[in-house]
Structure 1
Amino acid sequence: MYKSNNLTSDNLNSFTSLLKTKWDEIHNETDIFRYKIDDLEERIVDGKYFLQLNPDRRSKRRTPEEMTSICQPFDEKKFHFNKVSSKEILFSLEGEDGDLHTVLVNVSPISRYHSLLCPSVNRCLPQVVTPDSLKLVVQIMFQVEDRDVRIGFNSICGFASVNHLHYHIFVEEKSLHIECVNWQHFKGEMYLLDDESTVPAFCFKIQKESSSQTLQQAWKVLEYFLEKSIAHNILFTKRGLGGDDVVYLIVWPRRNTSGAKQLSAFNVAVLELSGWFPIFDEEEFKNVQAKDLQAELMKWKRDDFKSICENIKGIL
């Protein structure tokens, strides 16, 4: 479906190896990155929270954009991904409709191989999830055999930093806490992490033969969030609920942020909700306990999750 002079349409499973090869080349042989990612110090807290110390990300990254509306329009005058150096481009996928889906290095990476997928980058879309971009991400996830790959999305007012449509690509061998929890069946291929959890979430179990129907269901939920101005974070993973040839789309409705992302010890976005905490402060990294992480997560838990569930039942 997608073609590129770097990636053949019949071999999208080379996506990960190409990404790693090109990423390492740029990281090792150029000065494109704002800092180098080598061996990050790590620790596991309470057997479930995965911490990585990355102080450079706070001090050397680009200043996040100030955003106040979940559907804030794209602004050509502000930073966007069509302004990046061509040296940051890992490869591009050309869609059947002429759209260009570009994969870039993240010049301020959270971890090794942290990259950005920019669907329809030439169309200058705002950071608002779209049905076409969901399909693209799920297609990539199905054809990437490496189960260490996850793809994440942060909405505006959900700690997105740039108002230009993009997803984050991560490669991590450790399982994340959200991939090990017990989900309750909700409806169809939709599951629920209920209100007793730190931050409740929905999970869609996407199987290849029925991916279109499940994505339609997921889109109805995300469309509801957009209509109601509910900030959200999304994780795509191949780990969880059982089965290898399944993609899980996990979405958290969360409290809205306002203004620019604050570069404190950490910010609660898709990774933190998943149980992966990039920590910017060394003392915080050494001393933070599970109760501290849980308290920070709780700040972003919505009080109206039960009513959100009832409303979603009515639209599905």
Structure 2
Amino acid sequence: MFYCEDDFIYEIRRIAAESSNTKFDIRLQSQWNSAVENGYFRYRLNIKHSRTLPGKYSFLAQLNTDRHLNRRAPEEITCVSQPFDATKFNFTNVKNEEYLFEIKRNSADESVGHFLIINVSPLEYGHTLLLPGLFSCLPQVANLESIRLAVEVLLLSGSPALRVGFNGLCAFASVNHLHYHMYYLHHHMLLENVKVDHLSGPCYQLVDYPAPGFVFQLPENRSVVDLARSVCCLTEYLQNANIPHNLFITRGSRLHEADAGEVYTTVRVYVWARKPSATAKDLYAFNPALCELFGHLIIKTEPEYWSLTEEKVAAVLSDICQEPFAKVQENVRHLFEHHCT
């Protein structure tokens, strides 16, 4: 599939009808649905229960026991600079039927192929993996080109429900091969328009939330490259400092707007510095990865689902992110004052 900047949707209604789907949405959903009907997934998506937890953060909890029980065993990852290992499972090993399509900026694009494949252990409708430069065999480290591609793919959609995220090494990445998660979540989420504070330059901070983190938005000039450079400046700093991190990309209101109104006019990118995921494995009702930091909780078992409260979730997210955020906050402020503006 070829695309260009003319295909980008910069403004989108918060509650968009199915008729607003673009050619990208239609192709993605059609081929994903076909993969479901052909039995290419490890299980048929079955979200047994879904509810918004009472409280100020409106966390969305979904019971998906199949993902907990039937997903591929994660690779053992011990450091954020772990190199790609061709002897371990990687996305060049997936079956042909798992491929959806290749995506290029235009017909003259000579870049190494960017592909979309199904996630065979889906957590939501349309759960897909975006594989930037698949056959370059890069480790799971967010670079400038991949961040730009992730934002551009989001802009190809006419649906506010499409979300894109990234689990870094030691941040619940299960495969050390560059990839982003993408799925449709038809639910209004707090972080689409929550108030944030300005930190410095293009960087804002999410502080009135259990998982404090850093926030960027598509600039007024709508330059995806400028946004990607800002995000990459932060992820490179965290990578070099050996700090695990997660990213989440969503449609939303501009960061200074308290009320989104009827139309979303920007893309928000959240970046969380966090404790290594090895310290959290099997300790909680959910794995605090990209979805959970955003407030979308994939719950492992039915007893944990029904006993979950906002207080329990907030305690987990705070434990994961409060200390790492506090350690890097001033360094990030100076980073964007002096180096990344």
State TM-score, norm by structure 1.
0.91
Q: How many residues align?
A: 309
Whether contact under 8 Å (1:51, 1:276) holds in the other structure is yes
1:209 aligns to what SS in structure 2? Answer: coil
Structure 1 residues 139-160: Cα deviation after superposition (integer angstroms, max 9, x where no partner): 1222222111010001011111
Structure 1 residues 63 and 122, CA gap change in structure 2 (3 angstroms): same
Q: Distance in 2 between matches of 1:197 and 1:259?
A: 21
Q: Which runs of 5+ in 2 are unaligned?
A: 9-21, 255-259, 337-341
Q: Distance in 2 between matches of 1:26 and 1:301?
A: 37
Q: Distance in 1 between matches of 2:73 and 2:245?
A: 21
Aligned residue number for residue 41 of structure 1:
49
Structure 1 residues 286 and 110, CA gap change in structure 2 (3 angstroms): same
Aligned residue number for residue 72 of structure 2:
62
Structure 1 residues 314 and 39, CA gap change in structure 2 (3 angstroms): closer
1:301 aligns to what SS in structure 2? Answer: helix
Structure 1 residue 216 displacement after superposition: 1.9
Q: Distance in 2 between matches of 1:213 and 1:117?
A: 21
Q: Distance in 2 between matches of 1:304 and 1:283?
A: 31
Matched, 1:190 2:203: yes
Residue 16 of structure 1, aligned match among 21, 25, 31: 25
Q: Which residues in structure 2 correspond to 1:155-304 (within 5 Å)?
A: 155-194=168-207, 197-207=209-219, 209-241=222-254, 242=260, 244-258=264-278, 262=282, 265-304=285-324
Whether contact under 8 Å (1:70, 1:157) holds in the other structure is yes
Structure 1 residues 214-245: Cα deviation after superposition (integer angstroms, max 9, x where no partner): 33222111110001011111011112434633
Q: Distance in 2 between matches of 1:258 and 1:37?
A: 27
Q: Distance in 1 between matches of 2:327 and 2:169?
A: 22
2:72 aligns to what SS in structure 1? Answer: coil
Whether contact under 8 Å (2:273, 2:324) holds in the other structure is no
What is the identity, as a one-letter code, of the residue corresponding to 1:112? Y
Aligned residue number for residue 118 of structure 2:
105
1:221 aligns to what SS in structure 2? Answer: helix
Q: Distance in 2 between matches of 1:260 and 1:71?
A: 20
Q: Distance in 1 between matches of 2:324 and 2:3?
A: 46
Aligned residue number for residue 137 of structure 2:
124
Q: CA RMSD in A?
A: 2.1
Q: Distance in 2 between matches of 1:8 and 1:210?
A: 16
Whether contact under 8 Å (1:66, 1:261) holds in the other structure is no
Whether contact under 8 Å (1:64, 1:260) holds in the other structure is no
Whether contact under 8 Å (2:164, 2:183) holds in the other structure is yes
Structure 1 residues 39 and 67, CA gap change in structure 2 (3 angstroms): closer
What is the identity, as a one-letter code, of the residue corresponding to 1:115? T
State TM-score, norm by structure 2.
0.85
Structure 1 residues 112 and 175, CA gap change in structure 2 (3 angstroms): same
2:269 aligns to what SS in structure 1? Answer: strand
What is the identity, as a one-letter code, of the residue corresponding to 2:39? D
1:185 aligns to what SS in structure 2? Answer: strand
What is the identity, as a one-letter code, of the residue corresponding to 1:70? V
1:238 aligns to what SS in structure 2? Answer: strand
Structure 1 residue 293 displacement after superposition: 1.2
Q: Distance in 1 between matches of 2:129 and 2:282?
A: 21
Whether contact under 8 Å (1:67, 1:259) holds in the other structure is no
Whether contact under 8 Å (2:286, 2:298) holds in the other structure is yes
1:203 aligns to what SS in structure 2? Answer: strand
Q: Distance in 1 between matches of 2:60 and 2:143?
A: 30
Aligned residue number for residue 89 of structure 1:
99
What is the identity, as a one-letter code, of the residue corresponding to 2:289? A
Q: Distance in 1 between matches of 2:89 and 2:279?
A: 16
Q: Distance in 2 between matches of 1:228 and 1:146?
A: 36
Whether contact under 8 Å (2:3, 2:104) holds in the other structure is no
